C-alpha cells in the first residue's frame, strides 16, 4: 500500500515535471550517442498501453537527480574505487563548485567518467550516477531527458556541457600513434650503424613492435594479431613498419641478426625480444603478458 | 616449387628428434606457410622463446623460402603427456 502510494506520487511528479515545459523548453543538445546493441535483449511484453503506466515505468527506471547522492571523483584514476557503477545509465558531472557541467548517458558510467577525467579533470569534482536496468535505447534516453528536465526546471538553463556546439564532453576517437622511422630517408647517409639505432630504440621504449605494414593497417595476419593484442592490453607501445623502404631501409636484414629471429612481427619489451606472434598470443592467453607489461 | 611439408618434417626430425611431430601446410597462394606442433626432449629446461629459436634454427635452410611459420606447440614429452591427460579428463568432467 505504501509502495503503491510512493509510485503514484513519483508518477505524478514526473507528469507535472514534463508538463511544466509544453513549448518553452530550451533545446536539448544530445551530445552522447549510445552505441546500438549488437544483440538487443528481448523486449518484455507489458500488459498496459496507456500513457500513465509508461510514465510510471520511466520514473522508476532511475532515481531523480535531486535524490541521487554525489560521489567525489578521485584524482588517481578518475573514479572513486568501486563507488561508480560500471553499468548502463545516466550521470551528471559537477565541478568543484558544485555546479552541473554535463549530463550524459552511457553503457558504462565508470568508464565514461574516467574518460572525462582524463580530458577535463578541472571540471570533474563529483558525479551523480543513476543506473538503468534493462537499458534499451529508449529507456536510457528517457532517463537522460528526465534528469535534463529536472535540472532545467531548477536552474532555468541547460548544463554548459550539453549546449549545442560544445564538444568538450564528446568522446574523441583515439588518435593512433604514428609508426616510428629509424632514418630521415633513403637518400641520407647513416652516420650511426643501423643496429645501434635498433638497440637504442628497443631500450628507450617499454614496448616496440616491428611489424609488416603500418599499425593502422597491418599487411599480414600475424602483425594484425599482434597489434590487436597490444591494443587490447591498453599498453603504450611503439611500432615500426619493416616494409617501409624509404625510412626503414635495410631494417629487416639487420633486425634478424640483432634479434636472432628470422620472421616478422617481432615484439620487444624492456629491451628484450619477447618473440613473434605465436609467443605473444600464448603469453596473452595465459595472462603472462599483462604481468610482464606491469613490471 | 618451394619448400614441401615433407622437407620440413625431415629437417625437424633430423635435428630435434621429436617424439611427436605434426606439420600442416597452410600455404594459400602467397608463399609457403606451415603450422608446426612438436614434442622433443631437447626442449627440457628451455623457455618458450628458446624453443621457438631451436625450431627456427632447425629449419634454417627452409626458412629462406618460407613465408610464414607458426609454431603452435613446442613442448617436452612430460608436458605433452600432461596435456593429453588433461584433454581426456575434460570430457569426463
Q: Is the pLDDT of residue B90 over 90?
A: no
Which residues, 6 or more positions from B68, have their beta carbon under 8 angstroms from its beta carbon? Answer: A220, A222, A263, B26, B31, B33, B34
pLDDT in tens, B12-33: 999 999 999 999 999 876 678 9
* Mutation target vs B (from A277, A279, A283, A288; most B CBs, 10 A cutoff): A279
DSSP string, B29-92: SSSEEEEEEEE-GGGTT--HHHHHHHHHHHTHHHHTTEEEEEEEEEE-HHHHHHHHHHHHHHHH
**What whole-number distance in Å separates Cα of residue A62 and Cα of residue A129?**
9
pLDDT score recorded for residue A170: 79
- Give the model's pLDDT for residue A79: 53
Q: What is residue A40's predicted lDDT score, i.e. its pLDDT?
A: 39
Phi/psi at A277 (nearest 5 deg)?
-65, -40
Q: Hey, is the C-beta of B21 within 8 angstroms of any chain A C-beta?
A: no
What is residue A62's predicted lDDT score, i.e. its pLDDT? 83
Q: Do A277 and B70 touch (CB under 8 A)?
A: yes
Range with the poorest average pLDDT among A165-179, A191-205, B35-49, B77-91: A165-179
Burial annotation B58-88 (CB, 10 A radius, 16+ → b, else e): bbeebbeebbbbbbebbbbeeebeeeeeeee
- Domain extents for chain A? 70-75+82-162, 194-294
Candidate from A220, A222, A275 with C-beta closest to B52: A275
Q: What is the pLDDT of residue A135?
A: 73
Domains, chain B, in order of start with CATH, read 3-87 (3.30.300.90)
CB contact at 8 A, B20 and B79: no
Chain B residue with CA closest to A281: the answer is B72
pLDDT tens across the length of chain A (295 residues): 333 333 333 333 232 233 333 333 333 434 443 433 333 334 434 344 434 434 444 445 688 999 999 988 876 655 554 578 888 999 999 999 999 999 999 988 988 888 888 888 889 999 999 999 887 888 899 999 999 999 999 999 999 999 988 888 876 666 678 999 998 888 888 888 999 999 999 999 999 999 999 999 999 899 999 999 999 898 999 999 999 999 999 999 999 999 999 999 999 999 999 999 999 999 999 999 999 998 8
Which residue in the set B49, B69, B72 is minimally distant from A263, CB to CB? B69
Contact across the interface for B63 and A263, Cβ inside 8 Å = yes
How sure is the predictor about B65, in pLDDT bands with cuts at 50, 70 and 90? confident
B73 or A187, higher pLDDT: B73
Q: Which of B30, B34, B52 to mutate to test the interface with A (most CBs of A within 10 A)?
A: B52
8 Å CB contact of A279 and B48 = yes
Task: Quote the pLDDT of residue B88.
Answer: 83
| Nearest chain B CA: its distance from A177 CA (Å) | 27
Tell me the β-bridge partners of A34.
none
For an interface test with A, which of B46, B56, B60, B66 has the most A Cβ atoms less than 10 Å from its Cβ?
A: B56
Q: A259 — phi, psi (to 5°)?
A: -95, -10
CB contact under 8 A, A260 and B53: yes
User: For domain A194-294, which architecture applies?
Assistant: 3-Layer(aba) Sandwich (3.40)
Higher pLDDT, residue B66 or A15: B66
Q: Which CATH superfamily is domain A70-75+82-162 in?
A: GIY-YIG endonuclease (3.40.1440.10)
CB B66 within 8 A of CB B23: no
| A23 φ/ψ angles, rounded to the nearest 5 degrees | -130, -25
Let me know: does A31 contact A124? Beta carbons within 8 Å. Answer: no
Burial of A127 (0-12, 13-18, 19+ CB in 10 A): buried
Amino acid at each position: 500500500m505504501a509502495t503503491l502510494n510512493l509510485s503514484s506520487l513519483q508518477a505524478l511528479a514526473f507528469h507535472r515535471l514534463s508538463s511544466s515545459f509544453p513549448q518553452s523548453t530550451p533545446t536539448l543538445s544530445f551530445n552522447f550517442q549510445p552505441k546500438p546493441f549488437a544483440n538487443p535483449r528481448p523486449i518484455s511484453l507489458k500488459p498496459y498501453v496507456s500513457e500513465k503506466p509508461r510514465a510510471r515505468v520511466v520514473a522508476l527506471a532511475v532515481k531523480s537527480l535531486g535524490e541521487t547522492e554525489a560521489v567525489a571523483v578521485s584524482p588517481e584514476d578518475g573514479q572513486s574505487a568501486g563507488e561508480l557503477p560500471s553499468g548502463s545509465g545516466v550521470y551528471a558531472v559537477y565541478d568543484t563548485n558544485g555546479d552541473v557541467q554535463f549530463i550524459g548517458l552511457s553503457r558504462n558510467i565508470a568508464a565514461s567518467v574516467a574518460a572525462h577525467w582524463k580530458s577535463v579533470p578541472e571540471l570533474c569534482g563529483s558525479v551523480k550516477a543513476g543506473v538503468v536496468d534493462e537499458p534499451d535505447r529508449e529507456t536510457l534516453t528517457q532517463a537522460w531527458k528526465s534528469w535534463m528536465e529536472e535540472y532545467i526546471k531548477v536552474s532555468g538553463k541547460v548544463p554548459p556541457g550539453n549546449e549545442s556546439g560544445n564538444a568538450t564532453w564528446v568522446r574523441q576517437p583515439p588518435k593512433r600513434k604514428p609508426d616510428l622511422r629509424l632514418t630521415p630517408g633513403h637518400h641520407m647517409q647513416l652516420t650511426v650503424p643501423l643496429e645501434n639505432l635498433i638497440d637504442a630504440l628497443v631500450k628507450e621504449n617499454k614496448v616496440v613492435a616491428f611489424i609488416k605494414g603500418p599499425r593502422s593497417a597491418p599487411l599480414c595476419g600475424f602483425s594484425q594479431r599482434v597489434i590487436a593484442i597490444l591494443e587490447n592490453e591498453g599498453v603504450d607501445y611503439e611500432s615500426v613498419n619493416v616494409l617501409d623502404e624509404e625510412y626503414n631501409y635495410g631494417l629487416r636484414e639487420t633486425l634478424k641478426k640483432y634479434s636472432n629471429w628470422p620472421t616478422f612481427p617481432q615484439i620487444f619489451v624492456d629491451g628484450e625480444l619477447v618473440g613473434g606472434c605465436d609467443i605473444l598470443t600464448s603469453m596473452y592467453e595465459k595472462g603472462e603478458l599483462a604481468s610482464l607489461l606491469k613490471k | 616449387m618451394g619448400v614441401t611439408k615433407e622437407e620440413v618434417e625431415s629437417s625437424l626430425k633430423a635435428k630435434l628428434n621429436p617424439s611427436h611431430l605434426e606439420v600442416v601446410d597452410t600455404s594459400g597462394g602467397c608463399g609457403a606457410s606451415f603450422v608446426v606442433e612438436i614434442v622433443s626432449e631437447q626442449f627440457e629446461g628451455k623457455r618458450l622463446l628458446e624453443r621457438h629459436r631451436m625450431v627456427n634454427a632447425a629449419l634454417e635452410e627452409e626458412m629462406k623460402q618460407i613465408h610464414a611459420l607458426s609454431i603452435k606447440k613446442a613442448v617436452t614429452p612430460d608436458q605433452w603427456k600432461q596435456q593429453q591427460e588433461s584433454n581426456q579428463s575434460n570430457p569426463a568432467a
